[in-house]
Chain A
Amino acid sequence: MTDSVLYSVLLLTSLGVIAAVVLYIVSKKFYVYENPLIAEVDEILPGANCAGCGSPGCKSFAEKLVNTEDISDLFCPVGGNDVMKQVAALLGKEVAEKAPTVAVVRCQGACDVRPKTTEYQGPRTCAISAMVYSGETDCQYGCLGDGDCVAVCDFDAMYMDEKTGLPVIDTDKCTSCGACVKACPRDIIEMRPKNKRDLKVFVGCLNEDKGGIAKKSCEVACIGCSKCEDVCTKGAITMHNNLAYIDADLCTLCRKCVDVCPTHSIIATNFPQKKPKKVVVKKIIEKAVEKVEAEKVKAEKTEVEKVAVVKKEIVAKVKLENPKTDA
C-alpha cells in the first residue's frame, strides 16, 4: 500500500522536474529579445489602434518609434503634442510639434437645398454608389449621404444628421485620425487646423462645375464668382476650376469672405453671433406681415389666399424700398 503511494508520488515529482528542466532550456534557447522601451512607449500611446499614424496599431507604432533614428516625421494624431513630447522625453529623440487638426465636412448639400433627381436602389454604401454613378442629386462632387465615414469612425465622433442627410463631426471627440478622410470616396472631409476656440472658416463645397450648373444642382454651391478672392486681403483664397479654397495657414479668420459669398457656401464655425443686415430686413417683412395679419383677423375672418397676396405685395414693396437686399 505505502509502496504504491510512494511510487506514484516519486513518478509525478520526477515528471514535474523533467518538464521544468525542458521548459527552462527551451525558454532560454528561444528567448526573443524585445526592447523594453517598446512596452513603455506603448503604455504612453493612447491605445486606440486607429491607424491614424500610418501604422496598423499602437504596438507597431511604438516599435517604429523606438527603432527609427529620426522620428520627427512620425506623429500620433490622437495623442497629439502631449503624447509625442512624453515619447520624445522617454526616448531622448526630437519630435516636431504639429498644430492640432480636426476633420471638417466640406459639403452643405442638405436635402432641402440640393434636391434629389434620381433614386439609388443598390447597397447603401458611399463606395459602391460612387462607383456606380454620380449620386442621387445633380452634384457629382458632394456628399453621397450613405455614411461610410461614420461607419469607420472609431471614436464615436461622427453621426449622420437625419434632417440634412450629411455627416456631422463632434469636434471635441474628433481625434483627427483621418479614417473618415480615407473612407470618403468624394474627398469631402478635410483635416483643418484646430485653434483654441475651434474657430474655422472654410469653403463648404467642392463643386467644380460652372456657376450656373452648380447653382442649379445645389443652392449653397460655390459658383466660382471669386468675390471672396477679391475681398481677401491676405491672399488666403485661391480659385481653381470654379472653386474657391481657403488656405488655413494664411487665413486670419476675418470672415470678410463669409459676408460676400452670394451662395453662403463659405462656412464659419463657432464664431459669436453676428447681426447681418439681411436679418433686419427679414424682420421688417415679418413684422409688416404680422401687422397686416393682425388687422385682417380683427376686421374679419378672411381667406388664407388673400393674406398670401398681401404678403407678396408687402415683400415686393420692402424689396423696392431696399433694392440691395435679396431676402
Chain B
Amino acid sequence: MLKTFPKGGIHPPENKITSSIGIKRMTVPKVVNVPIAQHIGIPAEIVVDRKDKVEIGQIIAKSGGFVSSNIHSPVAGTVTKIDQIIDTSGYKKQCIVIRTDAKNEANFEEVTYPLLKEIKLEPKEIIQRISDFGIVGLGGATFPSQVKLNVKEGTKLDCLIINGVECEPYLTADHRLMLEKAEEIVVGIKILMKALHLKKAVIGIENNKKDAISIFKNIIKKEDGIQVAALQVKYPQGGEKQLVKAILGREVPKNGLPLDVGVIVHNVGTIFAIYEAIQHTKPLTERVVTVTGKHLETPSNFWVKIGTPIKDLIAEVGGLPEGTRKLVNGGPMMGKAIKNTDVPVTKGTSGILVISEDEASRGKSENCIRCGECVSVCPMGLEPHLLMNLSEKGMYEKASNEDIMTCIECGSCSYVCPSNRPLLDYIRFGKNIVKKLQTSKN
C-alpha cells in the first residue's frame, strides 16, 4: 500500500494530456511585460527607467524587503515603458515593458549547460545567491525561497522534502522537468542539503508518474541520504501539510509551518532554478509552463520567459479553439481564470488551461442538503458548509473560531458539492476578512 495523507482528498480525472510531450523552448516574444509583484510579500522596487537598455539576467526590480524578491530581465532589449497591466490577480499592476532586441543574439541563443556536480559555494553564500537571483517557490504560491531557508539557529530540522507530486489535473510541467532534468534536480537537492546541513531528503512523487519515480530511483542509488517516496494518487497531496503527513507521518500544527516539525518543503521547479542559479549563475528568468486543454491543437510544455504575454503562448499551440470559454492560470482545481490574453506569465504560472463551454459551466447553486460530502473530503478536517454559511452571514469571529484560516483553498469541497454551492468562494472571502480583522487587531 502506497503512502498518502489520511484525511479527506479527492481524485479528479487526471487529464494529463501533455505528459509525454517534451519541453520545447518557446520563441522569444517581441515584448515582455514583467510585473513587479510576482511573489507573495512586498512588491519589488523598479530600478530601471524608460529607454534603458537591459541585458538578460540584469536586475530590473530590487527586492523591497525581507519577504520579497529580485526580478531580472528575461530578455535583452529596451525598456519601453512602465505601465499598468492586468496581471494574474485580475487587477492592473505595475509592469516593466521590455521590447526584445531582435539584433541581439543573446536573446536567441539556446544555451545548454553541462551538468556540474561539484558544489563550490559555502552554505551562507548559497542562501545569499538564492535571495539575489530572485528565486521563489515555483509550485504556485511564489513564496520567496530564501525566507524558507533562513532557519533560526537552534531550530530542529532533519528532513528536506522535494515536492514532485503535481496533483493538479492537466499540469505536467513538473513531471516533464523531472524526466528531463533529473540529474540536475538531484544536484539541486544536494545544494540545499549542504546549505541547510541536512542528511536526509525525500522526493515525493505520485504513482501516476512511474517513469519519473524509476529515473530518480536509478540516480539516487549512488547518493546517500536521498530517498524517493512513491505516493498514492490523491488530490491535494501537493499541499505542504498533506505532503509532510503523507511522507513522514508528521502533523504540521494548525497555523504552523512544516518547519515546526523539522521539515522544509520545496518544489522540484524551485530546486532546478536553485541548481541553475548556484552552478551556472543564472537568475530566475524563465520557467516551464504547460499549455493545455482538451480542444487545443497541439498542447505542450514550454520553457517560457517570465513576462511573455499569454496570447503568445496560445499562438504557439495553434490559437484559441472555437467555443473557448475560460482561460485559467494554473490547474483546474486551484488555478484562477485570467481576464484577457495580455496577462503576462509570472514566476507562479505553472500552466495555462484552455477550457471550453461545457467544462467551464459552474452549474446553478442550490440549497445545502446536508450530505456532508464537503466535510468528508476536506483535507484539513474543516466543515466547509459551516464556514461558507458563517462568512456569508458575516459572522467572521465565529468563522475564525472554526479555523477558517487553516483552509488551504484546495477546492475539494466545491468540487464534490452536489448542490454546486460556491463553498470556496465564500470561504476565501471569509479568510480575507478574518485576515484583515486580525491585522487590524494587532
Contacts and interface: CB of A to CB of B under 8 A. Distances in A.
A276 interface: no
Contact of A121 (B89, B336, B362): B362
B426 interface: yes
A133 B89 contact: yes
Interface residues of B, number: 20
Most buried by B among A117, A127, A132: A132
Contacts of B426: 123, 128
A122 interface: yes
B432 A131 contact: yes
A118 interface: yes
A140 interface: yes
A179 B16 CA distance: 49
Contacts of B92: 134, 140, 209
A209 B428 CA distance: 29
B425 A122 contact: yes
Interface string B90-126: 1110000000000000000000000000000000000
A121 B89 CA distance: 17
A131 B337 CA distance: 13
B91 A128 contact: no
Given A118-B339, A131-B432, A123 B91 contact: no
A134 B91 contact: yes
Interface in A121-153: 121-123, 127-128, 131-134, 140
B422 interface: yes
A128 B425 CA distance: 7
B15 interface: no
A133 B339 contact: yes
A134 B86 contact: yes
Interface string B349-361: 0000000000011
A118 B362 CA distance: 15
A134 B429 CA distance: 15
A13 to B, nearest CB: 50
A48 to B, nearest CB: 19
A16 to B, nearest CB: 45
Given A127-B429, A128-B429, A134 B90 contact: yes
Interface in B357-405: 360-362, 365
Most buried by B among A122, A134, A209: A122
Interface in B173-207: none
Contacts of A117: 339-340
Interface in B37-90: 84, 86, 89-90
Contacts of B429: 127-128, 131
Contacts of B84: 209
A133 B90 contact: yes
A119 to B, nearest CB: 8
Nearest to B426: A123
Given A122-B422, A123-B422, A131 B86 contact: no
A133 B92 CA distance: 10
A123 B340 CA distance: 21
B425 A123 contact: yes
A133 B425 CA distance: 12
B405 to A, nearest CB: 16
Given A121-B362, A140-B91, A209-B84, A134 B425 contact: no
A132 B422 contact: no
Nearest to A132: B90
A131 B430 CA distance: 11
Contacts of B91: 133-134, 140
Nearest to B429: A128
Nearest to B432: A131
B339 A134 contact: yes
Contacts of B339: 117-118, 133-134
A117 B365 CA distance: 24
Contacts of B422: 122-123
A228 B92 CA distance: 27
A9 B354 CA distance: 87
Contacts of A132: 90, 336, 425
Nearest to A122: B425
Interface string B416-433: 000000100110110010
Contacts of A134: 86, 90-92, 339
Contacts of A123: 365, 422, 425-426
A127 B90 CA distance: 14
Interface of B: 84, 86, 89-92, 336-337, 339-340, 360-362, 365, 422, 425-426, 428-429, 432
13 contacts: A117-B339, A118-B340, A122-B422, A122-B425, A127-B429, A128-B426, A128-B429, A131-B428, A131-B429, A131-B432, A132-B336, A133-B337, A209-B92
Interface of A: 117-118, 121-123, 127-128, 131-134, 140, 209
A-B CB proximity, top 4 nearest: A133-B90, A123-B422, A121-B362, A122-B425
